[in-house]
Amino acid sequence: MEILHYTEDHEKFRRNLRDFLAQEVVPHVDQWEKDHIVPKSVWRKMGEAGFLCTAQPVEYGGHGLDFLYSVIVCEECSHTGFTGLTASLHSDIVVPYIESFGTEEQKKKYIPKCASGECISAVAMTEPDVGSDLASMTTIADDEGESFVINGTKTFISNGINCGLCVVAAKDPQATNPYQAISMFLVEDGTPGFGRGKHLEKMGWHSQDTAELFFSKCRIPKENLLGQKGGGFIILMQKLQQERLVCAIGAVCAAEKVVEKITEYCKNTKDRNGKPMSKNQATQFALVEMATEAKIGRVFIDKLIADHMEKKNVVVEVSMAKFWTTDLAKRTCDRALDIVGEPGYLEAFGLARGFRDVRVMPIFAGTNEIMKRIAAGFMGL
């Protein structure tokens, strides 16, 4: 019995997206990797084609579709082997903050532009020397009557260069409880005092525009407060289940992609004895083990997707899935390189980029050590 039930409409959407990626994305990947950025025009094309903000309500410019459409976007983008176009981050992690906690005015102002691809979104939580501990952030937002004034620095911000709207976490310097001090703010591109550094040079994800963001006396109107003042920590916690689920979906897809690629390579490449590599017993065992783990990950993720769509609280299970699937993607790439040998070390083969790209997965969206601590807490350990 299948865990997830895709309709013909889902499958048509998948085919259309796959064709779009094949035409508008895949042929340009190498150039974008060299340029270290994805052009904004691609985001607009993706929005025009209906592949952004699929789950957002129609009245706010979204498409009002179920979460399986978000899953399809995540899967198909991941299966291209390209990490630069972070559509799932935009549509299923950042924009839901606005949908769930924004005022009617905020929703009507921002979500339509996000759905069309006119406005690319980012979320700014991470800071230098702070890491996963949100309570230790140092970016502050002073309440000055009709406005808030933000001062501080954020780093490792995905979509940091391209973003037209940034959801920023900052704390009230007067608050005594660190978990009630954090608030969320909507900061638009061009706001005086909002600046960004150069694209950060990274080990992988070269075309994903990761940047430092700077806030120096950045004054925003009171209506740009997202949710309640002091409610930022709760806002972030409520959305982490979907964020980490999306991360885990991408990790499983990465592992599946590598298994598919390495299996095909071994079938079509002969060893020194003139036989396909896949006829070697040691290679067979390695491929079977890799394929088995990928299938285990797929079943686990599909069950969590179903539970998430039923509004179940699966925070613990998603935390487990995030650390296990991202570790799976990492070791699958590593083992594939061992099997292929020197050809896999060449950029043209594609495994090298995949190896670099998956390495950060156990780190972002909360480190895997944090995931284990969350699970341990709920297990009473």
CA distance 332 to 263: 12
| CB-CB contact of 295 with 285 (8 Å) | no
CA distance 49 to 46: 5
SS (H, E, C) the chain: CCCCCCCHHHHHHHHHHHHHHHHHCHHHHHHHHHHCCCCHHHHHHHHHCCCCCCCCCHHHCCCCCCHHHHHHHHHHHHHCCCCCCCHHHHHHHHHHHHHHHCCHHHHHHHHHHHHHCCCCEEEECCCCCCCCCHHHCCCEEEECCCEEEEEEEEEEECCCCCCCEEEEEEECCCCCCCCCCEEEEEEECCCCCEEEEEECCCCCCCCCCCEEEEEEEEEEEHHHEECCCCCHHHHHHHHHHHHHHHHHHHHHHHHHHHHHHHHHHHHHCECCCCCEHHHCHHHHHHHHHHHHHHHHHHHHHHHHHHHHHCCCCCHHHHHHHHHHHHHHHHHHHHHHHHHHCHHHHCHHHCHHHHHHHHCCCCCCCCCHHHHHHHHHHHCCC
Residues acting as catalytic residues: 243
User: Left, alpha or beta for 85 (phi > 0: left; psi -120 to 50: alpha)?
Assistant: beta
**Structure-token pair, residue 154:** 């954020």
Q: Please report, to the nearest 10 degrees, the dihedral formed by the alpha carbons of residues 46, 51, 56, 61 taken in order.
A: 50
Rounded to 5°, the CA angle 369-374-376 comes to: 90
